[in-house]
């Protein structure tokens, strides 16, 4: 199972939110490039990078930080946050990102998503499903839709998506353990590569996710609060 340290960037700082709320934000590093290099030094195979300003509509604030991280590390980086059109996808891939993460587009413009998969392949286009009480959230988690997250995952598989990052918003940043039930159901009802995100806070959590045969897991606050170390997580796998 792939372990991806999370680097969430707001105003060119590495931060973490609780349940996606911007008023519940903690700054961990004033220089996100520093933390990207730290994860690489600790042995990370892949980084998960999110532009939080981009997720709510401002795609310019963190652009240079994102570009520098991609260019300065020697490991793959997947990038998300406000990527909602073809031009932005092309721009991020041209910077050198290994994968582009799209969320809102999967709900609001599935035709575009399908087109982009046709152009770049489903190895380059990953879909982020953020859900609250089983309903899909979009626009930086500001909008809760009536769409059932499991139904959406099935539709995405039908149109060619291969990898989904699934976040239970109620768990995100709370260190209360992931939503194992939804990951179990996703494995039972789809053939998608599932990346778990939100709430991972113990080695037991990691072991249980691995037991579910998930493709990957994103860990954020537990690393930044030194509750878990990258080394011990890898060793437990």
Residues serving a catalytic function are: 8, 130
Residue written as token pair 């599932």: 194
3-state secondary structure of 16: strand
Contact 47, 39 (CB under 8 A): yes
**What φ, ψ does residue 167 adopt, rounded to 5°?**
-115, 125
CA gap 52, 54 in Å, rounded: 5
Residues 39 and 5 sit within 8 Å (Cβ to Cβ)? yes
Q: What is the CA radius of gyration of the chain?
A: 16
Distance CA 121, CA 59 (A): 24
């Amino acid at each position: 199972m792939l372990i991806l340290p999370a680097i969430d960037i707001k105003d060119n700082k590495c931060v973490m939110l609780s349940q996606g709320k911007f008023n519940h934000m903690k700054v961990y590093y004033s220089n996100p490039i520093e933390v990207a290099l730290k994860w690489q030094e600790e042995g990370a195979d892949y980084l998960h990078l999110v532009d939080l300003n981009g997720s709510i509509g401002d795609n310019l604030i963190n652009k240079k930080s994102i570009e520098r991280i991609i260019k300065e590390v020697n490991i793959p980086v997947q990038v998300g946050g406000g990527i909602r059109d073809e031009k932005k996808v092309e721009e991020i891939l041209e910077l050198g990102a290994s994968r582009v993460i799209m969320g809102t587009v999967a709900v609001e413009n599935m035709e575009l998503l399908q087109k982009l998969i046709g152009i770049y392949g489903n190895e380059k286009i990953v879909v982020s499903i953020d859900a609250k009480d089983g309903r899909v959230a979009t626009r930086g988690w500001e909008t809760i839709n009536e769409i059932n997250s499991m139904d959406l995952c099935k539709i995405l598989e039908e149109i060619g998506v291969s990898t989904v990052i699934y976040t239970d918003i109620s768990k995100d940043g709370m260190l209360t353990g992931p939503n194992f039930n939804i990951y179990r159901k996703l494995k039972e009802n789809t053939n998608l590569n599932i990346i778990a995100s939100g709430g991972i806070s113990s080695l037991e959590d990691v072991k249980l996710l691995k037991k579910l045969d998930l493709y990957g897991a994103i860990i954020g606050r537990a690393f930044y609060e030194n509750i878990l170390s990258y080394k011990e997580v890898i060793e437990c796998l």
